[in-house]
Amino acid sequence: MTDPILFMALGALCVLALIWAKTRFWSFLSQRPEDYASGIPQFDLREHLNGPILCEGVIYGPLGRVTSRFVGKFDARWDGNRGVMREHFIYDSGATQDREWRLELGNDGRIKADADDLVGPGSGQMTGSAVQLKYRIRLPEDSGGHVLDTVDWMYLAPNGTVMNRSQFRKFGIPVAELVATMRKVDAS
């Protein structure tokens, strides 16, 4: 009788080890800023996310289906290594949302991030052609008010477009993903 329980426990342990290995070595979360250190062009938030920006994207739910589409109009301004990015989103449902990021860059590319819907400060790294941000976000009450662990990756394309991919997790389980583009627009 002990053998079936032991085999079941070993099987469960093997499955957990495989899930951990997949997450650690073969998934979105396995990326590290140094993976992009030699990337060209070099991504500088102060240059590439500065002034008026058009953002277009989709949000995927936990089953991988699109649950929402949006367009955002951003305005980012920098004073040295401190920046503020104001965001206005219009969703396919007709709902709107306004957010404001407050960013501070270190001389080593480290990023400190804050916004009113974050739980604690966010942190990140600007390296080569990519930027990574990690933070905890509290969803609006009409979306459940959940606190989600978020990993944002922004990749700079050769034409200056920024590709953004974000994953949102609750208790380590993926619950949503966002994919968006951000492009500078003519101020006139």
**Nearest to residue 103, comparing CAs of 117, 129, 124?**
124
Strand partners, 164: 154, 180
Task: Name the strand (E) or helix (H) holding 103.
Answer: strand 96-105
Question: pLDDT at position 79, please?
Answer: 97
Question: pLDDT at position 28, please?
Answer: 76
Give pLDDT tens digits along the chain (188 positions): 568 888 787 887 777 777 666 666 666 788 888 888 887 889 999 999 999 999 999 999 999 999 999 999 999 999 999 999 999 999 999 999 999 999 999 999 999 999 999 999 999 999 999 999 999 999 988 888 999 999 999 999 999 999 999 999 999 999 999 999 999 998 76
Fold of 33-184: Lipocalin (2.40.128)
Question: pLDDT at position 25, please?
Answer: 64
Alpha-carbon distance of 85 to 110, in angstroms, equals 17
Q: What six digits make up the tokens of 171?
A: 């208790």
Alpha-carbon distance of 63 to 115, in angstroms, equals 28
Delimit the domains of the chain by residue range.
Answer: 1-30, 33-184
Alpha-carbon distance of 60 to 179, in angstroms, equals 8
Concatenating the DSSP letter of every residue in 55-71 gives EEEEEE-TTS-EEEEEE
Classify the phi-psi angles of 176: left when phi > 0, otherwise alpha if psi is within -120 to 50, otherwise beta.
Answer: beta
Torsion of Cα atoms, 55 then 120 then 124 then 135, to 10°: -60
